Amino acid sequence: MLELLPLLALYAVRTTGEKPPLWSIVIAGISAGLALCFKPYFVLGIFCGSAALAFHARSWRLFLVLENWIAGALVVIYALCVVGLYPACISDMLPLIREVYVLLGFSFSGMVGMPAIPIWAAASFSALVLSCERIDGILLLLLETSFGFMLAFFVQRRGWPYQF
């Protein structure tokens, strides 16, 4: 999660209409790519953050910013390296993961009952109430990104508090 902070900071800069420096774009893209290599379901949070950015700017082209391309390229390179250099990971480990890890998880109703859900809802509602009259771009970015990570929490089906 810490690796995604540069990307979120860069998105926040973009919501103000400023053009970020190239070095920050590269760092944000690399850090997001590394995070996605290990936690691919975090793409839901990044997608929702990008959607908030595009919605605020009223331009779908903000989905295609350089930092997103860098992150995507790193994920593709990582996947190709795993397939090419460690084929046993695909042939031996993926079936084991599917049979053991994927089956261990809460049902949807079990996930809804987790304490993280009402805490997230209360925090989101409080942010909306405290914003008073209007929602600015950065608040929209944070709320949408948080919604994406809440979706990732459901996709994982573990219910472990550190995953929310």
pLDDT in tens, 1-16: 789 999 999 999 999 8
Run of H or E including 55: helix 43-57
Give the CA dihedral 37, 42, 44, 47, nearest 10 degrees: -70
List, for residues 68-114, the tens digit of each pLDDT value.
999 999 999 999 999 999 999 888 888 888 787 767 777 777 787 78
| Predicted TM-score of the model (pTM) | 0.82
- DSSP notation for 17-33: TPPPPHHHHHHHHHHHH
List, for residues 7-61, the tens digit of each pLDDT value.
999 999 999 889 999 999 999 999 999 999 998 989 999 999 999 988 888 888 8
Distance CA(82)–CA(63), nearest Å, equals 27
